Amino acid sequence: MKDRMNHLLILSEEAPAYLDLLQAAKLTNLRITALSDTRLARTKGAECNMVLGEPGLVHGLLPYMTNLEWVQSTWAGVEPCIQKNSHRDYQLTNVKGIFGAQMSEYVFCYILMHEKLARVHHKLQQQKRWEQHFPGQLRGKTIGIMGVGSIGSHLAQTARYFQMQTKGYTFSSTNCEFIERYYHGEELVEFVSDLDYLVNTLPDTPQTTHLINDAVLRAMPPGAILINIGRGNVIEESALIDALNQQTIAGAVLDVFAEEPLPEDHRLWQTPNMTITAHISVISYPEDVVPVFIDNYHRFSNGQDLKYSVDFERGY
């Protein structure tokens, strides 16, 4: 494989930026076609044995790629490519280790806004009212992180910087030095029972669907805040709506949903103490993704195992 010519299809809305970075890298034995239009990509698909692209675009192209050997996702999540009716006769890799800082910025933006009463003070400013509402602090507060991979580990490290107590709920990884105690399986209710903040980073798999349900929400302290930056399937949305309406928990910040875009008539829009963002907590920047691809390209060319390989059955 080392001296064989490879043909890469870049399929992304950021295709020109990816092309510039890869051309500057001067990778050997590599021809590159860069497109953002899947209709044009269909005519080129059969010529290419590898793809660097967004799973949402790549999924529709798979039937046309008869020589496909490897897809490097530009996202951490690869759900469109692992659907049961999708082709699976190729290697699929995602990106890890590049999103932790972004996710931490997003999560702690909203944690600090809540702790420091940012909305309260903004409202008082608009009303020209001088009132002292004293904020809290993160020191000594407890954060629970569901999913302690590269993103969860970064969140835990940031939390420890603020002198928070850290707990992790995980199916596999237990090697983060910033997690003080791990929980597994049926320990989820115990895991959430004393949290100030619950952050989900878990992927969309059958195992994670509706993990955060009515029983879990009722086990959380009434002052707790739920933040979801993982996948929308993890939360039973009807149970969350009930919990917020009944003030079972204090609030929620959701960046991901079971259905996206979130329909205009969805009850979440009108739910009290709810913050909604449109799946923007992390952005795949070409300058961050390209080094991952380059490393894997050298591995592919040398017949080595690729980094961040996705198990089609597990979903990650």
Length of the chain: 316
Tokens (6 digits) for 101: 């800082």
> What sign has the CA pseudo-torsion 152, 227, 278, 205?
positive
Identified catalytic residue from 260, 298, 313, 314: 260
307 φ, ψ (degrees, to nearest 5): -75, 145
Identified catalytic residue from 59, 114, 154, 231: 231
Q: What is the Cα–Cα distance from 47 to 169, expressed in whole angstroms?
A: 44
**Of the candidates 283, 302, 295, the residue with the CA atom closest to the CA atom of residue 76:** 283
Q: What is the Cα–Cα distance from 316 to 310, expressed in whole angstroms?
A: 5
Identified catalytic residue from 210, 266, 279, 299: 279
Check if 7 is active-site: no
Which helix (DSSP H) or strand (DSSP E) does residue 287 occupy? Answer: helix 286-301
Neighbours of 37 (CB within 10 A): 11
Cα radius of gyration rounded to whole Å, the chain: 22
93-97-98-102 Cα dihedral, nearest 10 degrees = 120
Check if 231 is active-site: yes
**Residues that are catalytic:** 231, 260, 279
